[in-house]
Structure 1
């Protein structure tokens, strides 16, 4: 028997679990499946509303008593590299960029393990095996590339970024790099190079994932000029990071039903106004 997918995506909420960014908080995610012929359009549309992709799922933080996680993107036209960022670009001029189809390799996985063991030994990905790594890279229903950075002299792979392509930009889904090159600031360099990638492709934005005021892990994103955050249902230029501290207040988040009702789908209609 043939079963057809519902006209509108179905949204679900995860069970609360400890927040990885703010100590003492609990996180909860709103998510929907990313599948079918309309996957690319759905991804493009929801990403502009603060959602992120993980394999074939789109998710957005929807915590009961906190709204600190703000989707962040760099407006390429408004970006100007700082003196420190220009030094980072010069230090990494010897790297060669190569963009490939989303296919996992043993070399990537070895670098990934080295990165995790040095930077995130106790994180949620610490136990990821080769099959799970391959799924993270390869299970994508949309336009995705693996951007690799190799030493131009030795050919050694030193950094990798799983990158989605939207109709208005590129999204850095996950990146990792050689942790034994701290002077090279490879994490910053990957972002700077993706700004160049977007500029070369004529795309206006580079999506960086979530910025969290008060989280040291996410503070580096505020160092990029032209940064915008999705707050209050719209994208707005980053001001003083302290202006967003109120998002950690227990009353800062809308009820989950209200959040879902206000989600706009590819046809432009919010879920609250749809007729079935």
Structure 2
């Protein structure tokens, strides 16, 4: 009998973008690693909806701030699954001679394995996790989803800047922007920061620009040309001299954040100039 695992999807933006079966980019990569090891993985709910994934630039901790619960069926060996996941961390986040501990700590808190045959729950270190802890994880994730519902539906006090700005892709609104899109991508035409701490961190160069979060509904693998979510290839891995990367062909814009590692660093100077204009106005 083939070993199998089920993983439940979680959409933090459900209120604004409902009925989407969503995973993080890291979860997609772990699933590929498990499948390449011969383990069957099913993403729940097991229906006809396609699997989509969240993309965002910045801290990799964000991929592990929501519960990632793997349930083992048919006596799938937990030791094998643990080894695969920990090998994945070593190859993905091995920097300066060690695994990025901040990412590993986040995963230790939120990535758990449930052995369905006798109900034991463990984390990526192999430590026992209580059912109460699982309940806390789920409750915290639901609270953050509710916070995104409120922030993404917020009404701006600046009619010419209707789009809320966040910090580090978390729910709190720290400013407002006017955003446009063309064939070259997304542009922040005008913006203002209303949160004093965020503004202070921008002037101190702790925050260096903008980053976009979205839900990718179609992406193509550079190795095989097929749907990246469904194929076996993994980004950053070279297959017969061809490095794998995925090109997002279709996506839904979710939110824009001020971050430390931006994709839109050229917008920061414009933000500060605009901020000064509002102060003088």
TM-score in terms of structure 2 length: 0.25
Query: Which has a greater percent of strand?
Result: 2
State which structure, 1 or 2, has the greater radius of gyration over its C-alpha atoms: 2
TM-score in terms of structure 1 length: 0.26
User: Which structure is higher in RCO with an 8 Å CA cutoff and minimum separation 6?
Assistant: 1
